[in-house]
Structure 1
Amino acid sequence: MTTAEESRPTAPHDPHPTEHPTGQSPARVRDLHRTDSVRSARQDARAQGGQAGEWMPHLPASSSPYPPPGVDPAALVWAETVAPGGYTHKVLARGTRLRFDDPTGDACAHLLLFNALEPVERLNVADTQKIPWRAYLGENHPLLSGDGRVLAVLTGDSSGRHDAFCGTTTDAWNERKYGDARPHGPSPSGRGLFVKAAAKHGLSRRDLPPSVSFFQGVHVEADGTLAWRGSAGAGTHVEIVAEMPLLVLVANVAHPLDPRPGYVVGPLRMHAWRGSPTGPDEPRFTATPELHRAYLNTVDYCEARGL
């Protein structure tokens, strides 16, 4: 079991004392990094080159130590291990395959999708459940926008424990449960991390719709109660294909219904590689009248833009 507080390494800017390399006495980070002149600051910065952390993008993507089975590492366009309590973001081309892996059984990938060409079009959780007549996410489930188009579709799922009901955590929720919700604190909220990720693409808090999440399941009981089902265990994965150019935002944070008192979340692995969008010859394209219409809307939009 992994918590964000236990798993994330101390950041270089952490103001709290750390053990001095000599072991003689605690020292602040500024005592370990000489930056009192331009020359010493440059030397200090260059000394950090070549170092690698446990949670980071792998650059180039082909250097990932965890390439998905059957995928040529040279084909990867994104490879990253997202820290417990961390976030990431990326713009992906139409047809890109994106895989999420939960190596410990404690990841919780909260996901938002936007049309990368026109971000006003974004994931609509209500339509994602309504149009395919399925409340629970799983293989071949479309992730739809409010404009009646398919942003992405789940093409593989070995977990079966997901959630399209609850969204992600807020600062108020985490402050009440854990006592802290700072983005760089021990228990960041999903909403707070989404705000940071969105800002890097010119979006603000008001642009963020409800999200879906992978790897921590929620089920609706007969009386309407939302019951947390937790993880399917370590080693599960989800794959999606981008049916449109996508802006992807991901926050890897504890699920809001997780009953455990601690902030429990494990690392999340992500890989993406070039592929093709769903075509008319594939069964899901015409699986239902509603889905067929959504795919026709999607193809019409993309072909008009030469995609």
Structure 2
Amino acid sequence: MAVLNYVESERTVEDAIYNKTLLAGDGWLHTLEPGQVFRIVDLAGNQAADTLFYSGDDPADHYSAVNTIGRQQNIYLSTGSVLVSESGKELVKIIADTCGRHDTIGGSCSAQSNTVRYSHDTLPMHNCRDTYMLQLAKHGVGFTKRDLAPNVNFFMNVPVTPDGGLKFDDGVSAPGKYVEMQAISRTTVLISNCPQLNNPCNAYNPTPIQLLIWDK
């Protein structure tokens, strides 16, 4: 079942307390306080923002794709979706979305998955899992690769085929499209702005995203 739930936000960029442009291939880690609103903007269109969520009070309690999908009875995320952790804790709720749907089953790229999906010569290419680990190491969180749970791929189009397979298709986003979410509990957000050059999700052209935060 597809989600196409377009809702625009009334918030303005001028009122944001935080505004950052994240280049393709770069990572970002930040903790949202309850009530704060966080927006990711697809500046050029069809970029994939690979995003992980952790409880800000218990980082071992990470986002659960299984629990989130089961709760909403839908494999795609959009306005109204509540993202929950392994323990069932509510982390964030999507409150505005001008893209229409987002993937949470396709996973993030790694050196190993690139070789399986594409070819062995992609092994040294920049990838999201390495970006995640670099951010965690820089912030002294002390996590290992075991802590990299299934993620959300904002703006990424991953249709499920009738036989249950996954396709990585052209994106459904466009320049200026955004997704906005409100923190229900203290939540740490970890983003890899995907550097992927091998599938059409970003037209083979990784581009920057914009990150905005408003106080409640």
TM-score scaled by length of structure 2: 0.84
Q: Output one character per residue of 1:210-253: Cα deviation in whole Å (capped at 9) or x when no partner.
A: 11111121111212121233322222100011111111100011
Matches within 5 A, 1:1-307: 70-71=11-12, 73=14, 75-174=15-114, 177=118, 179-180=121-122, 187-199=125-137, 200=139, 201-231=141-171, 232-254=173-195, 258-259=199-200, 263-275=204-216
Q: Is the Cα–Cα contact under 8 Å of residues 198 and 204 in structure 2 kept in the other structure? A: no
- The share of aligned pairs that are identical, in percent, is 25
CA contact (8 A) 1:161 1:218 kept: no
Q: Distance in 2 between matches of 1:256 and 1:115?
A: 31
| Count, aligned residues | 203
Q: Which runs of 5+ in 2 are unaligned?
A: 1-8
CA contact (8 A) 1:122 1:146 kept: yes
Q: Which amino acid aligns with 1:247?
A: T
- 2:47–2:202: 8 Å Cα contact kept in structure 1? no
* RMSD after superposition: 2.5
Task: Report the 3-state secondary structure (helix = DSSP H, G, I; strand = E; otherwise coil) of the residue aligned with 1:90.
Answer: strand
Structure with bigger helix share is: 1
Q: Distance in 1 between matches of 2:41 and 2:13?
A: 17
Q: Which entry has the higher C-alpha Rg, 1 or 2?
A: 1
Q: Distance in 1 between matches of 2:182 and 2:11?
A: 16
- Say if 1:223 and 1:156 are closer, same or farther in 2 by CA, change over 3 A: same
Q: 1:77 to 1:100 in 2, by over 3 A?
A: same
Change in Cα spacing, 1:195 to 1:181, as seen in structure 2 (3 Å) is farther
2:170 and 2:202 in contact (8 A); partners too: no
CA distance in 2 between counterparts of 1:212 and 1:261 reads 16
CA distance in 1, matches of 2:10, 2:208: 19
Structure 1 residue runs of 4+, over 4 Å off?
254-257, 259-263
Shift of residue 70, structure 1, vs aligned partner:
3.6
Whose relative contact order is higher, 1 or 2, with alpha carbons under 8 Å and at least 6 apart? 2
Q: Which amino acid aligns with 1:133?
A: Q
